[in-house]
Amino acid sequence: MPKKERKKGLFLSIEGPDGAGKTTQARMLKERLEKMGLPVVLTREPGGTPIGEEIRKILLNPDFREMTVPCEILLYSAARAQLVSECIYPSLQKGITVISDRYLDSTIVYQGLAGGEKPEIIEMINMWAAGRLLPEITFLLDIDVETGLRRLRGKYTGAPDWRGDRMEQKELEFHRKVRQGFLQLASRDSERFFVIQAGDRPESVHEKIWEKMQEILRDPAKG
């Protein structure tokens, strides 16, 4: 069903490799939009609902190293199905802007292009589970893998026993594929994706996002 008929709020997602600073940018964007008087819901994946947060604990538990890619796909998609139906879709219907810290593109990239599963299978499962809902704009925060992972470790300085979550523990090669995967998706769909270099200070990254955001807000076809 055509997206413009289904929703009234603007649906945005922020994507990128681990350590790109998505969460900080999502919060900054939410605050800025709220200052303009727009109602905004910020949500994250996996998680964002009580059920989704429980699924998140399983997905990121570093003890579950044996978890298969199909199991990951189904769990990420299950959390997303709940998030769409409980939070994203009703919010959009009320005219609320939704910012999702990760969405379907993360599954296509982490479990598909980097994890080895066919992207079409992931798309099919999600089209069924998440009701064909896609963001209007996806901000892709691009960062080189080493810098991203270094940033993550920096966050935990002073915790010498830091292991990272189950996904962060994967090898460098996997994280390289993740970065390439996101760039590949962005080049295929340049209308939806907006790529931002995320190595700068958070304030300058935010300004770049904000510039694009203003353009989107001026466009009456959006939202």
Query: Contact positions toward ligand TYD, by CB under 6 A?
Result: 18, 22-23, 45-46, 60, 76, 101-102, 106-107, 110-111, 167-168
Are the CB atoms for 118 and 30 separated by under 8 Å?
no
* CB-nearer residue toward ligand TYD: 102 or 208: 102
Q: At its nearest, how many Å lie between ligand TYD and the CB of residue 202?
A: 14
Q: How far is the CB of 8 from ligand TYD (least distance, A)?
A: 25
Sign of CA dihedral 25, 28, 33, 36: negative
DSSP code for 214: H
- The answer to whether residues 83 and 98 touch, using CB atoms and an 8 Å cutoff, is no
Nearest approach, Cβ of residue 153 and ligand TYD (Å): 11
Query: Is the preceding omega at residue 62 within 30 degrees of 0, hence cis?
Result: no
Nearest approach, Cβ of 45 to ligand TYD (angstroms)?
A: 4
Q: Which is nearer to ligand TYD, 12 or 167 (CB)?
A: 167
Minimum distance between the CB of residue 148 and ligand TYD, rounded to whole angstroms?
9
**Can you tell me which residue has the tokens 């945005």?**
12
Phi-psi region of 49 (alpha: psi -120 to 50; beta: other; left: phi over 0): beta
Instruction: Considering the complex, state which of residue 9 and residue 47 has its C-beta at the smaller distance from ligand TYD.
Output: 47
Cα separation of 145 and 139, whole Å? 18
Cβ closest to ligand TYD, residue 4 vs residue 155:
155
Rank residues 144 and 217 by Cβ distance to ligand TYD and give the closer one. 144
Q: Which residues pair with 141 in a beta bridge?
A: 196
